[in-house]
Amino acid sequence: MRAIFEELENNIARLIPDNGSNPIEVKKWELPDEARIGDVFEIHYKCDQQIIEKIYLIPNERIRRLEKMKLKREALLKRTKDNEQT
């Protein structure tokens, strides 16, 4: 499962899963040392699907997603401007 690091409060990290399920809260020390807000992680569970076995940082995924959102935003702005001109 992939999840985005949304916030950190009192050494508890909140991760938002891509699949829309409930947020996941883990202790800060369970994340890689280089973790930053906005990073994307792959979460592996033990066989019971309740206990997290490992959290992996997906390199460059945060940057890739930011670029994708930027392109979508630019396309929407262009479409809005085109509609205003007609």
- The pTM of this model reads 0.79
The torsion region of residue 5 among left (phi > 0), alpha (psi -120 to 50) and beta comes to beta
In this structure, are strands 24-27 and 40-45 parallel, antiparallel, or unpaired?
Answer: unpaired
Query: How does pLDDT run along the chain (86 residues), one tens digit per residue?
Result: 999 999 999 999 999 999 999 999 999 999 999 999 999 999 999 987 789 999 999 999 999 999 999 999 999 998 887 887 76
Q: What is the CATH number of the domain that holds 63?
A: 2.40.50
Cα separation, 49 vs 16, in Å, equals: 17
Specify the number of domains making up the chain: 1
Give residue 51's domain range.
Answer: 2-85
